[in-house]
Structure 1
Amino acid sequence: MGWIGDSLESIRSIHIRQVLTQAVSLGMIVTSALIIWKGLMCVTGSESPVVVVLSGSMEPGFKRGDILFLHMSKEPIRAGEIVVFNIDGREIPIVHRVIKVHERQDTGEVDVLTKGDNNFGDDRLLYAHGQLWLQQHHIMGRAVGFLPYVGWVTIIMTEKPIIKLRIWQFIRTCKVDDISFLKM
C-alpha cells in the first residue's frame, strides 16, 4: 500500500502544481491586459480608449461591430468631428457626429449637439430629460481611427451569453503549457 499512497501523493502534487501554474499564468495575462489598458488611458486621455460601434446609426462611415480608437485632446470640439459620449443614467456610450457647437457667453464653456449619420434628427431625444446640449464631461473621446468588424466578438458575446460561457469553458480546459505558439 505504501507505493500506491506515494503514487497518489505524487499525482496530487503534480495536479496542484499544474493548477498553480495555470492560475499564475492567467493572473499574469489579466495583469498585462490591465496595464496595457491603463497605459492607453494615460496616452489617449480617454477613460475608454477603445469602443465598439453597437448600432447602425453611423452608417455608412462606421458599421455595427467596428472598433473605434479614441483620443481626448485639449483642442475645442468642432462640428463634423465624431465623438463618443455617455448620457446621464445610461451605461452604454454612443458614437455620433457633432453637428453644432455652442459656446456659453458667461462661462466660455463649449456645449455640443450630436446626430447619428444614419438618423433623421438630432440626439436631443436621446439626452437626459430636459437636456438640450452635451457638456464636456459627457464626452469620452474623439474617434481617431477604427478597425472594421473586429468588435463583432464583443457584440456576439454580449448578445449570446451561451457563446461567452463556451469560450470560458474552452479557456478553462486549455493548459497554458500546451499552447505551442507561445513557446519560442
Structure 2
Amino acid sequence: MRHRFQAEQWLPFPIEDVFRFFSKPDNLPKLMPRWQHARIEKMQLVPPPLPDPDKDAALAGAGSRILLSFRPFPLCPVRLRWDAQIAEFAWNQHFSDLQIKGPFAYWLHRHSVQSSASNGPTGPGILGTLLHDEVTYEIPLGALGAVANTLFVRHQLRRMFAYRQARTLELLSAGKHSR
C-alpha cells in the first residue's frame, strides 16, 4: 500500500537560491541529523540546462544518480544505502528523486518551489519561496508495513522533515552551503 506525506516551508530567500540549494547533492548530508553520519558514496551527475553553467556545475538534473549511505538510528554499526535517481527536473519549479534501491519498497520525493510573500499582521510582506515536499512511499512487508507506517514511519517522516526544515533555514541564512 502506498502512502503520501507532505510538508511545506516558507523561506525568506529568492526562489533561485532555494532551488539551487536543493539541486546540489552535496547539500543532502547536511540536511540529515549528524548522528546518521550521512555521506555520498557515489554520484553520476547529468547537469540540467543551466542559466549560469560556470556557477552551477555540480547540480543534479534529470537522470543523475546519487548513492547515499547513513546510519538508520544512533550508534547503529550498520549503514543503509540509498540509491536514487532524479526522475524529473524543471528549473526553479520542481524536481523529483526516485529510489532505485533502498529501505523502502517505493519512494518518490517531489520538491516544488514557488515565489510567495510572507503573511504578516498587516498583510503580505517579504517576498520569498514556498517549498513544498511531497513523498509517495511504500513500506515493504505488506499489511505489516501498513502497521509500521501507523506506529512508526509517519512519525519519523514528520521528525525528519521538521529537522530538515530547521537545517534548511539555518544553512541558507548562514550562507554555509554551496550556492
Q: What's the TM-score once normalised by structure 2's chain length?
A: 0.24
Name the one with the larger helix percent.
1
**TM-score normalized by the length of structure 1:** 0.23
* Max Rg structure: 1
Q: Which has the higher strand share?
A: 2
